[in-house]
């Protein structure tokens, strides 16, 4: 029916953006994760590039998205080089 089609399409249309959260690993280093998913937004000016001089290592590989039809979550990880 038309209602079912609208519901399916609305679940398959997603806006991709990012947010960050921090964790501490077993060696005491602070890790920064970037997550992507529906309804999240992060201005490109906020994304911190990796490399020397920033205090952060390079971004790792992205994990596979948890959904194939939008609204899923993928994450990347980078290590804080200047902790404490």
For residues 38 and 18, give the distance between their C-alpha atoms in angstroms, rounded to a whole number. Answer: 9
Question: Given pLDDT bands bounded at 50, 70 and 90, which one contains residue 62?
Answer: confident
Identify the helix (H) or strand (E) that includes residue 10.
helix 2-12
pLDDT by residue (tens digit) across 9-30? Answer: 454 443 333 444 445 555 555 5
| Mean pLDDT within 40-66 | 65
Minimal CA–CA distance to 9: which of 65, 71, 53?
71
For residues 71 and 41, give the distance between their C-alpha atoms in angstroms, rounded to a whole number. Answer: 13
At 19 the pLDDT is 45
Instruction: Say if pTM beats, i.e. exceeds, 0.85.
Output: no
Q: Residue 82: how many CB atoms within 10 A of its CB?
A: 9
Euclidean distance between the first and final Cα of the chain, in Å? 58
pLDDT by residue (tens digit) across 29-52? Answer: 555 555 555 555 555 555 555 545
Angle at CA of residue 18, ends 70 and 13, nearest 5°: 20
């Amino acid at each position: 029916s038309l209602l079912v089609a609208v519901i399916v399409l609305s679940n398959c249309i997603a806006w991709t953006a990012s947010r960050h959260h921090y964790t501490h690993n077993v060696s005491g280093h602070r890790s920064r994760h970037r997550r992507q998913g529906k309804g999240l937004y992060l201005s490109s000016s906020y994304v911190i590039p990796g490399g020397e001089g920033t205090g952060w290592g390079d971004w790792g590989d992205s994990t596979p998205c948890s959904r194939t039809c939008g609204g899923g979550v993928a994450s990347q990880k980078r290590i804080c080089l200047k902790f404490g």
